[in-house]
Amino acid sequence: MMALAPRLQDVAKPLLRVAPVAAVAVGLIVGAFLFANVSPAVALSTLATSAFGTPQGFSKTLEETAPLLIAGIAVFVALKAGLFNIGVEGQLLVGAFAAALAGQHFRGSVGVLACLLAGMAAGLIWALPAGLIKALRNGHEVITTIMLNNIAVLTTQYLAGGPFKDPTSQSPRTVPIDASVAMPSFHVGSQLMVSPALVIGLALVVGISVWLFRTVAGYELRATGANPTAAKFAGVNAKTMIVYSMGASGAIGGLAGALQVLAFKGQFYDGFSPGYGFTGLGVALLAGNSPLGLLPSALLFGALAKGATSMQSLLGVPKGITYVVMGLLIVTYAVVRYRKAVAHD
């Protein structure tokens, strides 16, 4: 019992410190809804019931969660090596495009595998320049990945509207994938639908946790992220680690795009991603230090995305307000973390 007492104190103190920040955040969120001319209580209850209240709603939430989770994992892997991969959006787009192309030509379960591999390869190739530039020339990955994002958005847009455009379609979109490579959602119970993409995401979270925290390679990667100089003195080849983690991050980003095509969209089109890669940054930041934190974090963002649609149709709250709320959440979290770091000093 003696040992418990200081621990309780340790828990209570930071909570007290966080309280004012949380209060401000709640105030801002309430203010945001008031600004949109709805009662915050009604808005929040609509958000919650539409996202979690019914099996259909929850299925939709899970559908939104899947790409955010995988994009979040992609960001997380790079973050652990000390790299801020802003380029997941671009890697996701090229991955989706590659999978959409592969899906037109391959069939069956081999085809599914081929599509996923094509997506991962595309994402990997898209991330590699950023990793190499960082490792060999110390060019900052934030700059290079933002540039690569722009190239990815514009290139896939051009390809989907030009050389690879579905001739039967009015809008810029590719020919739909073969039905045999689609990965439709399956029923859990009578009404809840779960997508294979989500299952793969969950497996990835477990796999990444094991890799980062139970293997020597993961240890080296985390050491590189935490203190590259100390890692070098410990015999870690930091350059290799940077390239590896950036490559892995890109491959996972590409996988997120490929799964989105196979599981939900069936083809690639202009405006394919509503910013999954960028929301993935928020997911990974909010997850904190543990990969398991990605799960609640991705679910939260998924629920917000689903709730935003419902609030728009039911209450007329513009979707933008939900993105404001998302931003406030991340800023609040950043403030809490920042304060912790200062208190540590």
Partner 1 sequence: MSLAVEMNGISKRFGTVQALDSVCLRVKRQSIHALVGENGAGKTTLMRVLYGALQPDFGTVALDGKPCRFRNSSEAIRAGVGMVSQHYSIIPQINCLDNLMLGAEPGFVLSRSSAKRRADELAARMGFEFDWEADAATLSPSGAQKLEILKLLWREARVMILDEPTAMLSPSDSDALYASLKQLTEQGATIIVVTHRLPEVLENCQQVTVLRGGRNVVSADVKDTNGPMLAEWIVGQSMHGAPDRRPPASDEIVLEAIGLSAKGDRGNLALKSVGFKVRKGEILGIAGVDGSGQRELFRALLGLVKPVQGKLLYRGRNLIPATVADRLRQGFRIIVEDRHEEGVIDDWPLIENAALGLHWLPQMTRKTAVCARYAFMRFALAVRHGKQAKQLAVPYLRQTGWIDFAARRREAQRIADRFDTRHGGLHQPMSSLSGGNQQRFVAGRALSNDPQLILAFQPSRGLDISASQKLYQTIREECGKGASAIVVSFDLDELMENCDRIVAMCNGRMAEPPKDKARDRNAIGRLMVGADA
Shortest distance (Å) from residue 248 CB to partner 1: 15
Please state, in angstroms and rounded to a whole number, the distance separating the CA atoms of residues 338 and 249: 25
Shortest distance (Å) from residue 223 CB to partner 1: 6
Kindly tell me which residue out of 197, 236, 308, 328 binds partner 1, with binding defined by CB under 8 A: 236
Tokens 């513009």 found at: 318
**Cβ neighbours of residue 48 under 8 Å, at least 6 residues apart?**
303, 307
Q: Could you tell me how many residues of this chain bind partner 1 (CB under 8 A)?
A: 20
**Cβ neighbours of residue 178 under 8 Å, at least 6 residues apart?**
103, 104, 106, 107, 111
Please state, in angstroms and rounded to a whole number, the distance separating the CA atoms of residues 201 and 212: 16
137 binds partner 1 (CB under 8 A): no
By beta-carbon proximity to partner 1, the closer residue of 51 and 241 is 241
Q: Which of residues 196-235 bind partner 1 (CB under 8 A)?
A: 214-217, 219-220, 223, 226-227, 229-235
Please state, in angstroms and rounded to a whole number, the distance separating the CA atoms of residues 60 and 330: 23
Shortest distance (Å) from residue 253 CB to partner 1: 25
Per-residue x/- mask for partner 1, residues 2 to 41, rule CB under 8 A? ----x-----------------------------------
Please state, in angstroms and rounded to a whole number, the distance separating the CA atoms of residues 208 and 256: 15
By beta-carbon proximity to partner 1, the closer residue of 6 and 167 is 6
Q: Do 143 and 118 form a contact (C-beta atoms < 8 A)?
A: no
Specify which residues 174 forms β-bridges with: 165
Shortest distance (Å) from residue 10 CB to partner 1: 8
Q: Which chain residues interact with partner 1 by CB under 8 A? A: 6, 214-217, 219-220, 223, 226-227, 229-237, 344
